[in-house]
Amino acid sequence: MEFSEGWEQRKEILIILAHPDDPDFFLGATIARWIKAGHLVRYLLLTKGDKGAADESLTPKDVMQIRIDEQNKAASVLGVTSVDFLDVEDGYLIPDLEIRKQIVREIRRYRPNILVTCDPTNYFPSPQYINHPDHRNAGQAMIEAVFPAAGNHFFFPELLEEGFMPHEVEEVWMSLTHEPDIKLDVTDHWTDRLNALKMHQSQIGEPEAFEKRMLERVQQEPGEPFSYIEQFRRIKFRRKTA
């Protein structure tokens, strides 16, 4: 199992997930690692998180704006270059042809080397948790957008008329997976991840209690030095030869 990316050149990375806070929860320390190594990272979030609140006095529009603002602050903490949102209603994300076309458009717009999403096959990340269908459907929608549509001019020809030419990526990384084939030791970026997550105040509650919960989740054996690893399932596309 690999413990490093093996990249020799600067990469442009587009992270495509469902909700505000997903990038920071799923791979926030890895994002910090990549940015500090000189790579460029962008977020594309398919919803605006309009159902992510327990306060019944808030409207979905209120919640949406809160979560957009929090995500922009968190991205700024990590040094993310840009954050874009599509307009799918939170909780109702379906990997249909319309969302596939929208994702293809953004892949062709930004032309990243690396795409990141979450594993669409992971229904049960833990014995205490059922994976949100938006998470899985975001992963499925992105996988179906990247191949074969993003790199093939016969798919969504109307995008050509908009000026979005086909683009093939080098790799796809899937977070939140039970089948990792790469693990990154991102212990040095644990604090970066926490600082970004603390910007999502509507989601985490009291910051000190939240930090304690996060540490408990990755608690080492007594006496063992603290370490934190984020893991992924990785696909490296075969490069075309002349």
Secondary structure letter of residue 114 according to DSSP: E
* DSSP SS3 for 191: helix
Tens digit of each residue's pLDDT, the chain (242 residues) = 677 899 999 999 999 999 999 999 999 999 999 999 999 999 999 999 999 877 788 899 999 999 999 999 999 999 999 999 999 999 999 999 999 999 999 999 999 999 999 999 999 988 888 999 999 999 999 999 999 999 999 999 999 999 999 999 999 999 999 999 999 999 999 999 999 999 999 988 888 888 888 888 777 666 678 889 999 999 999 876 44
pLDDT for the residue 1: 64
pTM of the model: 0.93
Helices 133-144 and 97-110 sit at what angle, rounded to 10 degrees?
Answer: 60
The DSSP line for 130-183 is PPPHHHHHHHHHHHHIIIIITT-TTSSHHHHHTT------SEEEEES-SS-SEE
Helices 60-78 and 22-36 sit at what angle, rounded to 10 degrees?
Answer: 20
pLDDT for the residue 216: 81
pLDDT for the residue 242: 46
pLDDT for the residue 145: 98
> What is the CATH number that goes with domain 12-236?
3.40.50.10320
